[in-house]
Amino acid sequence: MAIAAISRLRVRDQVRDALRTLIVNGSLEPGSRLDELRVSKLIGTSRTPLREALIALEEEGLVDSRPNHGFVVAALDERLIRDTYAILGALESAAVEMGGDGLAAATPQLVALNKRLAKEQQPARRHALDREFHLRLTEPCGNARLLALLRLQRNHSMRIDGGQRRGIANLVGSCAEHEVIVDAVKSGDLEEAARRVRTHWRHGVEVVIRWMRERK
């Protein structure tokens, strides 16, 4: 009995991960209704684990349930962008302050990633390199719960900012800010590095909001 229960949990988690990917990469558009029969066929699962996965994704803020209408992909708006980026700035800055020697040791990787980002021409690769830079910046903190919160908010930011399509709207400015963050880490001033991280995310808010307005 216990083995069957574990198996069901794994199926639900796999369905949740697959559905999350479709939402985050834009395959399922914001505001669209999630017809459970169609989605279950798309993912290749039965409706029971799909329903369980949708409930879990509602807790993550990626879908909303509506009485008599089932689930829809959570809508995007400027308030969500501002809230998400403020949270990311706070969480990343906290991780940087906790980084210690591990973060200092990661500076050669951060420098190399930023140089690759500055030279990259392909939008999706730019977006991937930028995400990798931020992952490397925060992983050394060693705080598993903080990193889990960051993963959740990064899913929101990836869905929000359209980065896989547009790359990075202000590549030169973003790379310059990355460089300042790394310089502060090199100098051993993690408090200054954390402050620069918060500034970096504040600047990103307006870039993404401009992009969102231009799409309308």
Domain spans in the chain, listed from the N-terminal domain onward: 2-73, 78-215
pLDDT digit string (tens) for 140-152? 999 999 999 999 9
Query: What pLDDT sits at residue 165?
Result: 60
| One CATH from 1.10.10.10, 3.10.310.10, 3.40.50.300, 3.30.1310.10 for 2-73 | 1.10.10.10
Answer yes or no: pTM beyond 0.75: yes
Rounded to 5°, angle at Cα 26 from 116 and 72: 150
User: Facing residues of 65 across strands?
Assistant: 71
Backbone angles phi, psi at 190, to 5 degrees: -70, -25
Q: What percent of the chain has pLDDT over 70?
A: 91
| One CATH from 3.90.550.10, 1.10.287.3610, 1.20.120.530, 3.40.50.2300 for 78-215 | 1.20.120.530
Furthest C-alpha separation in the chain: 58
Closest among 111, 114, 112, 204 to 162, alpha carbons compared = 204
